[in-house]
Chain A
């Protein structure tokens, strides 16, 4: 298994541009999450999904959108990028097993908005 994969690894956007961060997992996990990580601020949950077709907001959803049309994919869309969205973005997933709460992380996407 490749686990959780994210593309691209790095991206520079100009203010006002849009982009989609891709996240795919091949472990048949039901639950998926998007976080952003800023220095000294830990992880902030942007959006999460409990299964295909179901998404919900986390702590910091403004400026982002998500969709979950398949179990495997959970793309994060940035519309009208702003400098405040400069961050490292991590996607994670959790198995459907009710006894498992461990999150499996992708390698991250480093985004700079200038």
Chain B
């Protein structure tokens, strides 16, 4: 079965430290990859996505993610986090088999940035 695994449920870090949130998916078929962010008591917002082209994608607020096909991974990184990055982060994958628009979601990683 197709699945998405976020390897860490909680990641505590200090402000200005680097962070990596890990995401692996189950299949080697063609995929589209997404990271969403959910701030407290809000809906989910798209942070960045990979559809094709360069395997390194960036967001406007300093996050980046790299698609690694051989390791079926799409880890999210930021070199220096801020207090305002405290949020829940979700990895989602569209497995390109069939004609559906459904995404398979990871369980989320709670990033807590401490001063």
Contact = CB atoms under 8 A, between A and B. Distances in A.
Interface of A: 4, 31, 33, 40-43, 45, 48, 50, 58, 90, 92, 94, 99, 101-108
Contacts of B108: 40, 42
Interface in B62-115: 90, 92, 94, 101-103, 105-108
Interface string B29-68: 0001010100000111110010100000000000000000
Contact of B103 (A4, A90, A103, A106): A103
Contacts, number: 48
A29 B108 CA distance: 26
A40 B43 contact: no
A31 B90 contact: no
Contacts of A4: 43
Given A43-B90, A43-B105, A102 B49 contact: yes
Interface centre among B32, B44, B101, B102 (most CB of A within 10 A): B101
Interface centre among A45, A94, A102 (most CB of B within 10 A): A102
B9 interface: yes
A42 B94 contact: no
B43 A101 contact: no
A13 B30 CA distance: 43
A107 B101 contact: no
Nearest to A48: B102
Nearest to B44: A105
Contacts of A106: 43
Contacts of A45: 102
Contacts of A107: 42-43
Nearest to A45: B102
A31 B14 CA distance: 40
Contacts of A103: 44, 46, 92, 103
A68 B50 CA distance: 30
Contacts of A41: 107
B34 A105 contact: no
Contacts of B34: 101-102
5 contacts: A4-B43, A40-B9, A42-B108, A101-B32, A101-B103
Nearest to A42: B107
